[in-house]
Amino acid sequence: MFRIDKLNVKIKDTDKEILKDFSLTINNGEIHAIMGPNGVGKSTLSKAIMHHPDYVIENGTITYNGKTLNDLTTDEVARSGIYLLMQDPTVIEGVATSEALRTALKERGNDVNLFSFIRDMKKELESLNLPKDVMNRSINKGLSGGEKKKNEVLGLTVLKPSFIILDELDSGLDVDSLKIVANNINKYLEDNKDTSVLIITHYSRILDLIKPNYVHEMYDGKIIKTGDISLAKEIEKKGFTGVNEVEMSDIHE
């Protein structure tokens, strides 16, 4: 079980509070989606979970399978089974994707045979419709926005996490690429039934492909509404709650 309890997060060296008493519980095997307009703290949430150096946890706890994550380092959080699929994956010149992933496996005590590692990578690259030389290229270098996301999904299938955070998965992906990526994630979830997913998104289209058990609407650093997929459809139709209120007051004026 992944649990966030009354989490308060600030931007480092400022008084700007982004997450305010944020709470969320995700049971094993559940898929949750968080929707909200720009600037409400959705991406901060994913970074705070991974202990991004730009953010500071002021209060509250994050626990995963009974273990408190607050005092862990980023790599320890990742090795506890959490995988962040970034909104804008970083380009790292000189470090090959295969080298990084193999190091990541070694760090997990899983020093795989090079032959089987390459064989598995090639298989995954093929299913993601990525060129085979991507594994030997510098991480995400020269890849389009969509290919970068696919490359991140490649990392997911190799590292086999039990909790996945998809931060704006659909940004930069065309319709076909989104389907390929979603299919690969769904296949992973089928093969790993206990895996939980936190989807962070503006739009409901990704939720048509990776179906959530719960949808939360976020505003001003906390969850203000929870429902099922119908909440996402309602948001898609009527807009976000806070935004609607502003629009309505504008109309009244």
* Residue 73 contacts another protein per CB under 8 A: yes
The two structure tokens encoding residue 131: 């060129």
Q: Does 11 bind another protein (CB under 8 A)?
A: no
Q: Can you tell me which of 79, 137, 202, 225 binds another protein, judged by CB under 8 A?
A: 79
Chosen residue from 93, 133, 190, 250 binding another protein by CB under 8 A: 93
For another protein, the binding residue among 84, 198, 215, 218 (CB under 8 A) is: 84
Which residue number, 155 or 221, has a Cβ lying nearer to another protein? 155
CB 48, min distance to another protein, A: 13
State both tokens at 104: 């990541």
Instruction: Map residues 123-142 to x or -, x wherever contact with another protein holds by CB under 8 A.
Output: ---------------xx---
Identity of the amino acid at 113: N
Q: Per CB under 8 A, does 109 bind another protein?
A: no
Note whether 63 binds another protein by CB under 8 A.
no
List residues near another protein by CB under 8 A: 50, 52-53, 73-75, 78-79, 83-84, 86, 89-90, 92-95, 99-101, 103-104, 107-108, 138-139, 155, 159
